[in-house]
């Protein structure tokens, strides 16, 4: 079984269906609830959104990951087609309010402004669609997936409602068990790490120097304060390459001199959406 945050019809639900069509998917009320089910061994996997090409990172996930003993075993890039939907009989002129998750509202901000309607944030996109269907108010609309429109009997008033083309959400697939794939030539890999830098001058510069000298590219580096501290920085890094590759081992050895609490989150095959870059081992 795989779990996700939101109601049935959420984009996370859609991602589960695309990646694991034969696996049962179960909705959870929050990201924490979904991740805790996997950490406690009550479910095998969790499909969790990490970032969106338009609205940026899902900040809550970066705070939750360090608190849990979970491993990233795969990634998935899901194209997002936001649909504006309303009860049957509604028209664009009748709409006064549109509901959706804050990320979806941010991704459709210009379209919403052009309609001249009020945007109201909800816990998730599919939940917004369900509420609009239950209210059956012709002045209300939701922004959600086509799956949500189908599940809740809403009419799609406009497809591709997002402001920018190519809108994509990157999901990570979390497991309680570490699953490192074998290092194979010709396969593209991503390695994800958590670490804190030591309290010394130029610590981050020195910590990352080993990746530069070993010709390894960092594709993502997120910084945030760990709980209970104002003078320490924690980093989440996504790095091109396999953790067992020789150059990666050398870079991690150098990282260890200038960082503390280095934690491997996972090594996994890079999604095909990254094909614009070449980083084969």
* Residues labelled catalytic: 169, 171
> CA torsion sign, 85 to 104 to 172 to 273?
positive
- Provide CB contacts within 8 A for 94, sequence distance 6+: 138, 139
Nearest to 126 by CA among 16, 246, 273, 221: 16
Q: Give the relative orientation of helices 246-258 and 203-213 as an angle to the nearest 10 degrees.
A: 170
* Alpha carbon distance 195, 66 (integer Å): 10
- The single-letter DSSP state of residue 40 is T
* Alpha carbon distance 45, 202 (integer Å): 38
User: How many CA atoms lie less than 13 Å away from 139 in the CB half-sphere?
Assistant: 5
Cβ–Cβ < 8 Å for 176, 70 = yes
- Provide CB contacts within 8 A for 202, sequence distance 6+: none
């Amino acid at each position: 079984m795989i779990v996700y945050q939101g109601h049935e019809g959420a984009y996370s639900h859609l991602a589960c269906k695309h990646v694991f069509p034969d696996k049962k998917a179960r909705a959870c009320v929050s990201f924490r609830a979904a991740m805790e089910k996997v950490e406690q061994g009550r479910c095998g996997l969790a499909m969790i959104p990490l970032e969106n090409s338009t609205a940026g990172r899902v900040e809550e996930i970066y705070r939750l990951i360090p608190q849990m003993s979970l491993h990233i075993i795969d990634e998935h890039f899901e194209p997002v087609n936001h649909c504006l939907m309303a009860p049957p009989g509604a028209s664009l002129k009748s709409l006064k309010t549109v509901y959706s998750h804050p990320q979806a509202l941010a991704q459709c901000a210009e379209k919403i402004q052009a309609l001249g309607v009020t945007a109201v944030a909800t816990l998730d996109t599919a939940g917004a669609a369900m509420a609009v269907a239950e209210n059956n108010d012709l002045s209300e609309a939701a922004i959600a997936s086509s799956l949500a429109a189908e599940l809740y009997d809403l009419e799609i008033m406009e497809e591709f409602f997002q402001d920018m083309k190519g809108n994509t959400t990157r999901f990570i697939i979390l497991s309680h068990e570490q699953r490192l794939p074998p290092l194979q030539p010709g396969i593209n890999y991503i390695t994800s790490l958590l670490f804190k830098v030591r309290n010394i001058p130029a610590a981050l510069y020195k910590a990352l120097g080993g990746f530069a000298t070993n010709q390894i590219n960092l594709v993502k580096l997120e910084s945030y304060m760990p709980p209970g501290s104002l003078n320490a920085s924690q980093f989440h890094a996504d790095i091109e390459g396999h953790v067992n590759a020789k150059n990666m081992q050398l870079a991690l050895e150098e990282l260890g001199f200038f960082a503390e609490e280095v934690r491997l989150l996972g090594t996994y095959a890079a999604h095909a959406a990254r094909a614009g870059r070449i980083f084969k081992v």
